[in-house]
Amino acid sequence: MKVLVTGGAGFVGSHIVDALVENGHETVVVDNLRSGHEGNVRSDVPVHNLDIRSPELARVLESERPEVVCHHAAQTTVKGSTSDPKYDADVNIMGMINLLQGCVSAGVRKVTFSSSGGTVYGNTQNLPVKETEPLDPVSPYGITKVAGEQYIEYFASNFDLKYTIMRYSNIYGPRDHASSEHVITVFIDRLLAGKTPVIHWDGEQSKDYLYVADCVAANLAVLTAGDNEVYNIGSGQPLSVNQIFRELTRQMGVDVQPEYGPKRAGDVRAFYLDISKAQQQLGWTPRVSFEEGLARTIQSYRDATATHA
């Protein structure tokens, strides 16, 4: 089938593009290259350098006529949303509406959406978190992700459009960059630069971490399954920041003691997802262990550092 990936030059999106092509799907990318990099996209995939808020998006959808749109373009950080909530809302809500209107006009069959398991549920104490947990976001980013979900559901109920919403845990792996503020990427970046990583709070706070290849597998599964459903996509297991740091330094062969800083606003003690619905309905389950995923990630950053040396 033909699939258009918004944000397809970014971290997760570019891995999805690779897998789509490798599985025989005709694939097209829309990305404004603000945080994505055209070098992430294989040379046989066309890239439309375009913002999802642009009126031109409708014309691209009309000319490309994808069967499925995989929507990953977004303002992606909590910090970015709190420092500039207007921009966050403009991209994540107005961009979503613009995309959905274009999809309806172009006859797109389905939209798949990368939502945020880590922010839409808020500070719930019900662990592991099920999809039925009330949505209670505490950041502008979480609010815009919830709004995006609701706009998709509205368009699906009023037009001939299907959807699958995937609420991601913390995705890690090659092609991420430290500006994402993802703890694994930041730690590797600092350790490779000979700098000391900083752990906020006491490091015993834990979250759900999923290797990018497993996230990609879920995206491929929902091309033909999970219509009009919402799924948590994560490892289903909590990992503390201290555990991550210990495994990182062990694999990298460095003897470094972290610095500890104050607790950041909004940090929660523990958060991880119940992934049983995706396992049962999609036949999807994480395949890559944390140790293996970390090893692949470290190697990719070492290779990139050597290339640019």
Active site residues per annotation: 141
Transcribe the chain into DSSP letters.
Answer: -EEEEETTTSHHHHHHHHHHHHTT-EEEEEE--SSS-GGGS-TTS-EEE--TTSTHHHHHHHHH--SEEEE--S---HHHHHH-HHHHHIIIIIHHHHHHHHHHHHT--EEEEEEEHHHHT-S---SSBPTTSPP---SHHHHHHHHHHHHHHHHHHHSS-EEEEEEE-EEE-TT--GGG--HHHHHHHHHHTTPPPEEETTS--EEEEEEHHHHHHHHHHTTSS-TTEEEEES-SSEEEHHHHHHHHHHHHT---PPEEEPPPTT--SB--B--HHHHHHH-----S-HHHHHHHHHHHHHHHHHHT-
